[in-house]
Structure 1
Amino acid sequence: MGNSKSGVVSREVLDDLKVSTRFSEAEITQWYENFQKQCPSGRITPAQFEEIYGRFFPDSDAKTYAQHVFRSFDTNDDGTLDFKEYIVALHMTSSGKMALKLEWAFSLFDVDKNGYITKNEVFEICQAIFKMIPKEKQEMLPSDENTSEKRADKLWGFFGKGENERVAEGEFVKGVMENEDALRLIQCEPLK
């Protein structure tokens, strides 16, 4: 990453992030300083990420979901997140653009990173999402989505695919954008 130990984000990384995220230089520099304080090694490990994520979902089991989120952010597959991956992930998940968020959601559901989503992958992520819903909230869910299996079946149904078919990124983005229920089923917002 360049100057990860010096306390100053490299010009190359700064310029790249300004273009790819549209964040300002001041924002990136401030986030870099905070990142360095929290992660002096310049890297976030999966365990650190799980701990951070767990703080946002104190009444739930966020570990499995955090592992999937981490995998989707670790774009170079080195088992850690560097500052650049962290900022790009922050941009993708916080950007106001729904299509960008759904592209990230696709990468979350694409567990094997082959460019397609299968029903088994939808089920795996729905299981992780379901674990994050507090028990008392699970009891209030509609009967067709009150288990991870039912949620996965319902979500898969929105794509109009058979059991052994697969969904490409464009189909996923379009299918979720066109259906409010599908959008709700893929989201896992922290409790306020």
Structure 2
Amino acid sequence: MDFIEYVAALNLVLRGRLEDKLKWSFKVFDNDDNGRLDRHELRIIIRIIYKIKKGSVSDEAGQIRLTPEEVCDRIFQKIDENGDGQLTLEEFVEGAKRDPWVQKLIRLDINPSYWVHQHLSDRKLQSPKR
């Protein structure tokens, strides 16, 4: 990926339409580039999401913390329409658009100004007063 592709991808993730973000995510998740996501590929992504979210993903009601395997199982239950154990691009996009929990899990919204503000606030709270 060259710099222009990187900037285009970053712009898509930050400002793109939901469907474009989901298509881009699918392409990133599809490690073997066969046009389908299997459980192994999805588990890899779920583990990365766990690292980003500090190891905590809850069920739809926000009550029960789920393991990466449980998250993977729920995603397949919700969006693998034909039950073949693989997700096509269409199943992935349409399933995520239909299900807010899946959407929230894989979207990983990024708000750079919020992150900077939060970290500046944290520093102010941690620094000793003079």
Q: TM-score, normalised by structure 1?
A: 0.49
1:170 shift after superposition:
1.5
Aligned identity (percent) is 28
Report 1:1-192 matches (<5 A): 81-134=1-54, 138=56, 142-143=63-64, 145-160=65-80, 162=83, 165-189=85-109, 192=115
Distance of 1:165 and 1:148 partners within structure 2: 16
Letter in 2 for 1:104: W
Shift of 1:187: 2.9
Deviation at 1:165, TM superposition (A): 2.6
- Could you report, residue by residue, the CA deviation over 1:31-78 in whole angstroms, capped at 9, with x for unpaired residues? xxxxxxxxxxxxxxxxxxxxxxxxxxxxxxxxxxxxxxxxxxxxxxxx
SS of equivalent to 1:158: helix
Tell me how many residue pairs correspond in the alignment. Answer: 108
Structure 1 residue 188 displacement after superposition: 2.8
How big is each residue's C-alpha offset from its partner over 1:97-144, in whole Å with a ceiling of 9 and x where there is no partner?
Answer: 111111111112212111111122111110111122225xx287632x
Q: Distance in 2 between matches of 1:174 and 1:87?
A: 26
The one-letter code sitting in structure 1 at the alignment partner of 2:54 is P
Cα deviation, 1:75-94, whole Å, max 9, x if unaligned, reads xxxxxx32221122123212
Which structure has more RCO (C-alpha within 8 Å, separation ≥ 6)?
A: 2
Q: CA RMSD in A?
A: 2.4
Structure 1 Cα separation of the partners of residues 93 and 104 of structure 2: 13
Secondary structure class of the residue paired with 2:37: strand
When residues 119 and 101 of structure 1 are mapped into structure 2, their CA distance, relative to the original with a 3 A threshold, is: same
Q: 2 CA distance for matches of 1:148 and 1:107? A: 20
Cα distance in 2 for residues equivalent to 1:121 and 1:91? 25
- Return 5+ residue gaps in structure 2 as ranges: 116-130
